[in-house]
Amino acid sequence: MSDMILHHYELSPYSEKLRAMFGYLDMSWQSVITEPMPPRKKLYPLAGGYRKIPVAQIGADVYCDTRTITEQIAAMNQKPELFIHSCKADVKQIIDEVEGEFFFASVMYSSSSKLNKKVLQNMSVFGLIKLFIDRINMSRKANIKMVTPGKAGPIVKEFLPRFEAMLNSDFLFGDQPNIADFSAYHSLWFIHVLGEKPIMNQYPKTVAWLEKIKSFGHGVRQEISADDALNIARSQQPKDIIEEHQQHDLMDELVDIAPDDYALTPSTGVLKGCTDTSYIIARESKETGLVHVHFPKTGFAITPSR
């Protein structure tokens, strides 16, 4: 098996983005199923207060947000086209759109009896109510204006014909997928696969593209427990941080790092690294020993911990 552990849940769209990448690369990986919302008692020792899913783990290094996770996947498989910072401006432009307003519109627009049935196969009615309340509270505290149900449909209906027109090859930028394909896939997967919305029948090239990515599968998956993941972290040491990545005004100080858009709960640790694309904090607990937690610079704010 590879060293990568993914903490995820089945209906998580951003987790599906990574699972599809595992399938494309025929990667072996280890799966830890976690709760759709906090509290996640077994994940907290690894990632702290960070509340988004997925979270990845390689030994005693923990990666929050798909930007840092895809950077690792790209490096492990020598596929720079799967890392956003290696891509050209036109690729980044599409990613910004599909992972911004369109993503939230897709999730909202996907509401259907078929989606509800899938959700209830994975959680109880009580759990669904708790999730609904949690997401409402998270939206109210967000620093961005969230898409309302009334605006979701127009956003999706405006985007889909433009996306259909982009598909002049098997994938968005040629005969092989890059990070833009996987970034667009997870939103459209929510509409087409989970919501089973009939609007997709109007866009045959988009559906064919979706089916190509879906056909990759999820790679070679091995289920492990959350305790197994904690034991793996505790049995290893984080990888070394090279000296040139140790330059920042807050270096070696206790800091809070949190998303700057929504799900604003911070993770707290000692800042130990700062690369061109990420921050690295050190955390320590009896469950894990010393771990290094990696966050992207894009979309995150770092402040001295109070």
Rounded mean pLDDT, 269-291:
96
Instruction: List the one residue out of 192, 235, 236 whose CA is nearest residue 212.
Output: 192
Predicted pLDDT of residue 1? 45
Predicted pLDDT of residue 2? 60
SS3 280: strand
182/141: higher pLDDT: 182
- Torsions phi, psi of 6, nearest 5? -115, 120
Angle at 183 between CA 10 and CA 135, to 5 degrees: 50
Instruction: Record the pTM.
Output: 0.95
**What ranges do the domains of the chain cover?**
4-79+221-304, 88-215
Quickly name the fold that domain 4-79+221-304 has. Glutaredoxin (3.40.30)
Give the CATH number of domain 88-215: 1.20.1050.10
Identify the band that residue 144 occupies on the pLDDT scale cut at 50, 70 and 90. Answer: confident
Angle between helix 204-215 and 13-25 (nearest 10): 70
- Domains 4-79+221-304 and 88-215 are alike in CATH topology: no
142/177: higher pLDDT: 177
Task: Share the mean pLDDT of the chain.
Answer: 94
Q: Which two tokens stand for residue 124?
A: 């109880």
Q: pLDDT for 196-223, tens place per residue?
A: 999 999 999 999 999 999 999 999 999 9
Evaluated on CA atoms 197, 66, 43, 1, the torsion sign reads positive
Instruction: Please report, for residues 19, 130, 191, the alpha-carbon distance to residue 215 in angstroms, rounded to integers and kept in the order given.
Output: 12, 33, 17
Cα–Cα distance measured from residue 172 to residue 91, given in angstroms and rounded to the nearest whole number: 9
